[in-house]
Amino acid sequence: MSDKGEYQRDLNYIPDRITADGRDGWPVEPGRYRLIVARACPWANRAVIVRRLLGLEPVLSMGIAGPVHDERSWSFDLDPDGRDPVLGIERLQEAFFKRDPEYPRGITVPAFVDVPSGQVVTNDFAQMTLDMSTEWTAYHREGAPELYPEKLRDEIDDVAQKVFTDVNNAVYQCGFARSQEAYEHSYTKLFSRLDWLSERLAGQRYLVGDTITEADVRLFTTLVRFDAVYHGHFKCNRQKLTELPVLWAYTRDLFQTPGFGDTIDFPQIKEHYYVVHKNVNPTGIVPLGPDLSGWPTPHHREELGGRPFGDGTPPGPPPESERVPAL
């Protein structure tokens, strides 16, 4: 917290990268690494979507932590015997301590874990998805989209930074604010950026270019959680997503695109925020709403043109073990 009661996210993550040339000591190898995520977490949701879109499931396994954690870390309470079946650990914390027994920071998802050693490689969520697009290309599925095309990277990076500062992180700054001044500053920043995004997306189907890119992935994971948690739980209540016509249609468009909506588990999302954040919701009561029936309805965004996967194709259905309950 700042002196003014503003929530300040710790952005110091383990900086190692898994690369094609293995320059950090972690070369891309099929079957060597495990992506650890939680369905509830928007930062982890990015990695789940990118892995799906690129078709990396056969070479990069995925472990799913439960939606509720304590001060120690995310735990694998969804798995038989409460242990990840590949790593054999009960808590993600164990992989961080394998890497550094004195690891001093938060135990966060997503994380890449080296299966042979059991050590976490990195939890740098922003770099992880970019590396899946640029360093794992030898293992992309046939027809995989270009989520981070070189000719658009400067614009993607610029839009993604605005989205991170004023949307992805701003909802947390609203929810965790410890002063009226800090809350109002974050609230104003958030809705000013949502208005900017509405204007940008009114005449184009996607954020950058005419296809889905990394920028869309990063915005989607916040917008899809907006009405379920951020509007009420985090006091982001000028309007619901469903009351912002352009952004509601845009998010429905992505939700109905293979690789996006099929990664979303609304019950786990709500359970995480309303149960874990005791300082915001001390009763731990999880709301029954909102009504989810609008998500499959027509969005008409295809009238703007655009090609979701560019010259590529949609991903196939997720593996049976990774499917989320239908709405």
Annotated binding site for glutathione: 74
Residue whose entry in the numeric block shows the structure tokens 């709405």: 327
Active site (catalytic) residues = 41, 172
Query: What's at 208, amino acid-wise?
Result: V
Contact criterion met (CB below 8 Å) for 207 and 216? yes
Residue whose entry in the numeric block shows the structure tokens 């410890």: 178
